Structure 1
Amino acid sequence: MTKRIGILIWTALWMGTVACSSKKAPKQLFNGSTLEGWHMDVPAMDEDSTLADPFIVRDGMLVSLGEPRGHLITDEVYRNYRLEVEYRFPGEPGNCGVLVHASTPRALYDMFPQSIEVQMMHEHAGDFWCIVEDISVPDMEERRGPRDEWGIREGEKRRILNLTDGSEKPLGEWNRMVVEAVDDEVKVWVNGDMVNHGYDATATEGQIAVQAEGAEVEFRKLQLTPISSLSEGNP
């Protein structure tokens, strides 16, 4: 009996160790001091190398200055993860976005990498934009427009509206966006509200990118946590 109890205790301890070791630690995509792990793709700088970088580090934050327009892209490719982003527009509201499953650079309008954009534009946070990749949602015609106008390239209906209005904080306050990309699904929360859920995405892995698209945006958190399935729970 004593031996059996000892085996049960050992088994419980072993299983606990395995469970703990299987938890995947978050990764800080932005280290708070440099842009290590990222590279810029800014088309205007091809012609004029004297232009100031549109992405800088300031007061421990990653800042997209908005101009010249382009993207800050991770060096690494990611699949199956939860991305937590804390951001705000410190001045005038405007446009920006986080791109997931990014691959071929400058695939659209000689600017945007092939990807699925999760919109951060003020009052439109959580919209999807299809950039030479596609994704489906319920009520597709209501949220994307007439079916025969859908597309993933220039001049086609690439925008898929989000599910809610009013999820963003007032200007100047910090917003928390969570993007969960697992297999062919992408879910988005803004300040705790689920604002979009897409499925049948045509890409399931890629780089992550942040935009410079006309407005200054501050980021104080860009954290990625690997996950294995959607059943691990909501943020």
Structure 2
Amino acid sequence: MILRLVSISIWVFSLAVLKAEETLVFRDLFNGKDLSGWVDVNTSPQNWTVKDGLLVCSGKPIGVMRSEKQYENFILEIEWRHMQAGGNSGVFVWSEGQPPAKGPLPKGMEVQMLELEWPKLNPEADGQPRHPGFVSGELFGANGLTATPDHPRGERSMSTEMRCKGKGEWNTYVVVCVDGVIKLSINGKFVNGMREASVRKGYLCLESEGSEIHFRKIRLMELPGGNATSEQTAPVVEK
């Protein structure tokens, strides 16, 4: 009897471990062949293409491509490189699936992807370069999403180190999102974060904003769900 109970306990434990392993694994969001799993929201069919296993965004027109499903708690790993000096792009998390009527970009938490020359090529009115905090993974709530910055630059949060690489070089972001808290690792080190986000479940969006950018190795590990309320969840886009 005791041996039977032990055997049953081991079997139940093994099933629990197997279930955990099945859940907590990275899954590719880009298969290197086509745009399966993604929806072009407001750009054009020519804007997003696959070439030599890379996801290529021309940058024109400005807009986004979103994931088919929403995510709440997760770890996102994404590799990207700009092909033009001063290039502008980003990835939105906890995003709405449609932009507002007056703009091309949605409400969501933006993880900025700017090429290093952007502050010089987009100067202030007096001709001086913009603040260097714009580049290297600045985080901010876009179009109404609010959050508290870990390293404030106004309402935005700037990285503690400038770790992004320039034109033509690959960068790796690891984005950890749990219960309204976001942490960003750039090329192997966590350097930025925000907390108390007003939206905690939504779509992922890749941003097209004027210049060519390449993506590869887009993968995501879904974590157990949290306590996002209906008010903290982006509206579902009906197919």
Residue 150 of structure 2 aligns with an amino acid whose one-letter code is P
Q: 2:236 — aligned with what?
A: none
Runs of 4+ in 1 over 6 A off after TM superposition: none
Q: 1:126 — aligned with what?
A: 137
How far did 1:119 drift?
0.3
Q: 2:216 — aligned with what?
A: 220
Structure-1-length-normalised TM-score: 0.78
CA distance in 2, matches of 1:57, 1:199: 35
Contact 1:182–1:228, Cα closer than 8 Å, also in 2: no
User: Which SS does the other structure have where 1:129 is aligned?
Assistant: strand
Q: Deviations over 1:147-179 (max 9, x none)?
A: xxx5xxxxxxxxx13223331234322211011
How far did 1:108 drift?
7.5
Contact 1:100–1:116, Cα closer than 8 Å, also in 2: yes
Contact 2:141–2:147, Cα closer than 8 Å, also in 1: yes
User: Which SS does the other structure have where 2:148 is aligned?
Assistant: coil
Q: Deviations over 1:173-197 (max 9, x none)?
A: 2211011111111111111111211
Q: 1:156 — aligned with what?
A: none
Percent identical pairs in the alignment equals 28
Residue 126 of structure 1 aligns with an amino acid whose one-letter code is G
Cα 1:72–1:139 shift into 2, 3 Å: closer
Residue 69 of structure 1 aligns with an amino acid whose one-letter code is I
Is 1:165 aligned with 2:161? yes
Contact 2:94–2:204, Cα closer than 8 Å, also in 1: yes
Residue 16 of structure 2 aligns with an amino acid whose one-letter code is V
Is 1:198 aligned with 2:199? no
Gaps of 5+ in 2: 117-134, 227-239
Q: Match for 2:64 among 38, 51, 71? A: 71
User: Which SS does the other structure have where 2:88 is aligned?
Assistant: coil
Is 1:106 aligned with 2:107? no
Gaps of 5+ in 1: 46-51, 145-149, 151-159, 231-235
Is 1:36 aligned with 2:32? no
Q: 1:49 — aligned with what?
A: none
Q: 2:10 — aligned with what?
A: 12
Aligned residues: CA RMSD: 2.3
How far did 1:10 drift?
4.7
User: Which SS does the other structure have where 1:195 is aligned?
Assistant: strand
Residue 33 of structure 2 aligns with an amino acid whose one-letter code is S
Q: How many residues align?
A: 205
Structure-2-length-normalised TM-score: 0.77
Residue 26 of structure 1 aligns with an amino acid whose one-letter code is F
Residue 49 of structure 2 aligns with an amino acid whose one-letter code is I
CA distance in 1, matches of 2:97, 2:205: 12
Q: Match for 1:55 among 36, 48, 55? A: 48
CA distance in 2, matches of 1:99, 1:169: 20
CA distance in 2, matches of 1:15, 1:200: 35
User: Which SS does the other structure have where 2:110 is aligned?
Assistant: strand
Q: Match for 2:109 among 110, 116, 140? A: 116
User: Which SS does the other structure have where 1:112 is aligned?
Assistant: coil
User: Which SS does the other structure have where 2:114 is aligned?
Assistant: coil
CA distance in 2, matches of 1:117, 1:108: 19
How far did 1:133 drift?
0.4
Q: Deviations over 1:102-129 (max 9, x none)?
A: 1152228511111110001124132112
Contact 1:64–1:212, Cα closer than 8 Å, also in 2: yes
CA distance in 1, matches of 2:99, 2:219: 25
